[in-house]
Amino acid sequence: MAINIVDTNQKWGSNLTGLQALGNASIIPPKELIIAGTLYLKRFSKSSKFIKQIKDFHSKKFSSKLYKIKLEKIKILDEEKFGKEEFKELKL
C-alpha cells in the first residue's frame, strides 16, 4: 500500500511539502482482533449496533474488514528545508 499526503493548494513552482509512506496492509489476524476491535469500538462507538462480539468484525454482519499497516518506508518532502526536489527517507 502507499499513501501520499500533500497540500493540494500548493502552487506549481513553489517550495513543495508532503509525505509519502510505503508498506504492506493485511487483514488483522484473529489473535490480534481483540485489541484492534476494542480500539475500533472505542473510537467508533456507534459501530456497536452492528458488532456484538469481537469476532463479528470478520463476519458477514460487518462488511468492512480491519487491516493493519506495516510501514516500510517514509519519504518527507520539504523543499524549503531540504532544497528543490530533495527529500528525506526513513526506512523502518
User: Which pLDDT tens digit goes with each residue over 9-66?
Assistant: 888 888 989 999 999 999 999 889 899 999 999 999 998 888 888 888 878 777 778 8
- Whether residues 34 and 61 share a domain: the answer is yes
- Whether residues 43 and 24 share a domain: the answer is no
- Whether residues 7 and 34 share a domain: the answer is no
- Whether residues 60 and 38 share a domain: the answer is yes
* Residue range(s) defining the domain that contains residue 38: 29-65
- Whether residues 73 and 59 share a domain: the answer is no
The span from the CA of 31 to the CA of 53, in Å, is 14
Coil, helix or strand at residue 12: coil
Q: How confident is the model at residue 8 (pLDDT cuts 50, 70, 90)?
A: confident
What's the pLDDT score for residue 26?
Answer: 95
- Whether residues 51 and 79 share a domain: the answer is no
Structural domains of the chain, count: 2
Q: For residues 66-76, give the mean pLDDT.
A: 94
**Contact assessment for residue 13 and residue 75, using Cβ atoms and an 8 Å cutoff:** no
